[in-house]
A and B are shown apart, each in its own frame.
Chain A
């Protein structure tokens, strides 16, 4: 038993302070991302999620420049971006895509400038890597409580809005007829998403945060039939991917190239993607099952068996 444990967890795993911070912050962020992500997928708002984290990059890199934790930069800018998107989106729904695209391009332009200054003026050569691809192991023990508080706020907002949010995600018409303030609920949800995405951007990286947001939810949705089952399974998958990712990344210090661990985010995102692919297997098998009897019937009637074979492959 202890042999297996020491095989899976490299020495020092349980006593390392950075690992402890990573586990707490990573676990909490995985939970909030998964819960918020279920609604993101239901509402078809993955693009908005991605746009928010990309805009957050500007804040993250700006914060680095001023010497504040990038987390604050991510949160401030993506919450502001929600307000901006709402203001732009009011009058012309069709214009929203274009405006989001343009604002989003300008924000990334600023991010490029800030990252350049981070690396040249501030001599923080790892800034670009940290902002874009995250690094759970550099989460300081002092920011962990901040992560926990922000995650709780985001979760509390989603659960406070739960039923009207679900109803308006299913059908805005049904919700409006029940006098649900559909637009307000939508804005509330975007705020919760902005916070969740910022947390994911801070820990997993701005570019990879969408994977943690949408991946576990999309995988869970393939396997479950009810909203609560989806929420629970998405949370389990997201947390599993993050925690296993942390263990593997810690182990990877002993892998080539020696002395340079592989990035945690790589493991987390790869695991999420694997879950998503595996979640598709039952559906695939069902589809084959639906087809097979028909193929057999063709065979029984004595029509060339080759036709059946071709159908199967």
Chain B
């Protein structure tokens, strides 16, 4: 069983960029309820993968498993072929909510500095090399302009950039972003998405972005991991976002509509309620955009 799985991974390794993260048959139960059920997928260097699922689908839980903060009841996670180590410099993480007060005396550059060595005991002596690393990370996400502003006073989109610099400054192999597009307007959304796509390719990191809406990610997403009903399907968008695959995940029939280059997932005729309503809203939004 394990032998055959390893063989398939090796076979595809020739064609695909190097594998950075492998989630292997992971199941998580919280208070007796199965939140994730036998989830497997891999993500690769220089690729941007979307982790798509509605509210409560288990996206944050999956991130916590990858970070080693939640223990799965079955399965394992490996990063660069190794298990989860005690301190994981290989993973950069931007949580869903940070909520920094405007009166917190912390400049963007101080926060990015903490991304470099915030887990180490003691304090950092100022050094030119350190300042340069922080500066580069901020410039790399086009956040040099607000390096000296208090983080709490920045707008949502600006804060998101600073957080990305925070996560990238330690040069991780894997970058996890939990709902980085929530609360952003269309333009910032696009800017952040393009930035992340650039980061993936230029810095050769594997980027995993969670979102409840896949459309903003469509132009840049190399692969998708779709979470529903605790289970996951992964592959390219064309492979995964199909009625047969998603109906299997949801456990009931769903349709996949393509409208003006957007994808809308709708519950089938038998269960017309909530999903269809949401599809109608998304549809209206799509019309407004074009």
Interface of A with B (CB < 8 Å)? Answer: 42, 159-164, 166-167, 170-171, 173-180, 220-222, 224-227, 229-230
Contacts and interface: CB of A to CB of B under 8 A. Distances in A.
Interface in B54-97: 67-69, 86-88, 91, 93, 95, 97
Most interface-central of A160, A170, A178 (chain B CB within 10 A): A178
A177 B67 contact: yes
A99 B95 CA distance: 31
A161 to B, nearest CB: 7
A171 B95 contact: yes
Given A159-B123, A178-B119, A225-B148, A170 B95 contact: no
Contacts of B120: 163-164
4 shortest A-B CB distances, which residue pairs? A167-B118, A162-B123, A178-B119, A177-B93
A160 B69 CA distance: 24
Contact of A171 (B69, B98, B149): B98
B205 to A, nearest CB: 16
B11 interface: no
26 contacts: A162-B123, A163-B114, A163-B118, A163-B124, A164-B119, A166-B114, A166-B118, A167-B114, A167-B118, A170-B100, A170-B104, A171-B100, A173-B97, A174-B98, A175-B119, A177-B91, A177-B93, A178-B119, A179-B86, A179-B87, A179-B119, A180-B118, A225-B106, A225-B107, A225-B149, A227-B106
Contacts of A166: 114, 118
A178 B124 CA distance: 17
Nearest to B99: A171
A233 B101 CA distance: 20
A171 B119 CA distance: 12
Nearest to B121: A160
B77 to A, nearest CB: 14
A163 B105 contact: no
A7 to B, nearest CB: 37
Contact of B105 (A161, A167, A175, A230): A230
Contacts of A175: 118-119
Contacts of B135: none
Contacts of B98: 171, 173-174
Contacts of A224: 105
A241 to B, nearest CB: 20
A160 B148 CA distance: 26
B231 interface: no
Interface in B148-170: 148-150, 166
A75 B172 CA distance: 44
Interface string B128-159: 00000000000000000000111000000000
B110 interface: yes
Contacts of B68: 179
B286 to A, nearest CB: 33
B261 interface: no
Contacts of B149: 225
Given A171-B99, A177-B95, 6 more contacts: A163-B122, A166-B114, A167-B118, A167-B119, A170-B106, A176-B67
Contacts of B117: 163
B289 interface: no
A171 B97 CA distance: 9
Contacts of B123: 159, 162-163
Given A176-B69, A179-B88, A226 B119 contact: no
B35 interface: no
B111 interface: yes
A177 B69 contact: yes
Contacts of A174: 93, 95, 98, 114, 118, 166
A178 B121 CA distance: 12
Contacts of B124: 163
A164 B104 contact: no
A159 B123 CA distance: 7
Contact of A225 (B95, B118, B150): B150
A284 to B, nearest CB: 14
Contacts of A230: 105
B185 interface: no
Interface in B169-221: none
Nearest to A173: B95
